[in-house]
Amino acid sequence: MIFDTLITTIEKKGAVYIVLIDPDKEDDNSIINRVKNANNSGVDALFVGGSIMMDINYNSIVKKIKSLSNIPVILFPGGVGQLNKHFDAMLFMSLISGRNPRFLIEEQVLAAPIVDNMNIETISTGYILVNGGSNSSVEFMSSTKPIPMERVEITVAHALAGQYLGMKLIYLEAGSGAIHPVTTEVIKAVRDAIDLPIIVGGGIKTPEKARDAVEAGASIIVTGNILEEDDNCVQEFADAIHIQK
């Protein structure tokens, strides 16, 4: 099971490093290079996802990623239309920080029979969007407002709700292209409140910021946009995130 593999990696390495590939933003060649680089640079898994991701070649792109990858390929879904049998697992997410019923439960209900038919491993995830200082794609596409970064108690309350609802992971997201990543104050507060592994993504632009997040209590770090600018820093991120060597 992919979830068990992630937990084992956290125990062995201190934290998991995941690279996000967004087919909306990259051409085939850059995706292929990204996967090959991840294979050789200490990355623990790949997320594939985007806010739209409805290109007619999407299925073949995922199939290609899976054929090249030596590490798990996990769907980071933006909607039911992104389901694909080639994934090793998927985050079965609910945008618990929002109040739009479509992303709280409606998409999940539509997806459930398809997921069951495809026999994809699901990892129940409470997705919490916090304000990273930019108008993110998630905010626009989901019609939900992010939690203000300084309202730590609100973020903690949502994380606790996710735990009590039976989620396996809590995802703290500052948004694609965030100016500021999720602060260590927020991560520490959530870490102190819940027992679940915490994913942190959005705006993590340096290995030092990644290490800070892990030391604050993050169990999984996700980078995306920064690697579109410089794919050569993957190993540096992996070394910073894997605090147990």
pTM for the whole structure = 0.96
Q: Mean pLDDT in the chain?
A: 94
* pLDDT per position as a tens digit, 18-46: 999 998 888 889 999 999 999 999 999 99
**Domain limits at 179?**
2-241
* pLDDT per position as a tens digit, 147-162: 999 999 999 999 999 9
Angle (CA) 13-15-21 rounded to 5° is 115
**Do 155 and 122 touch, CB atoms closer than 8 A?**
no
pLDDT of residue 232: 79
Split at pLDDT 50, 70, 90, the class of 245 is low
Give the Cα separation of 69 and 61 in Å (integer): 12
Is residue 4's pLDDT more than 90? yes
**Do 91 and 77 touch, CB atoms closer than 8 A?**
yes
Q: Any idea what the CATH number is for the domain that residue 84 is in?
A: 3.20.20.390
Q: How many independent structural domains does the chain possess?
A: 1
* pLDDT per position as a tens digit, 224-242: 878 766 777 999 999 999 9
Residue 94 host element (H or E) = strand 89-95
Q: Which residues contact 74 (CB under 8 A, 6 or more apart)?
A: 2, 18, 45, 46, 47, 48, 87, 88, 89, 90, 91, 123
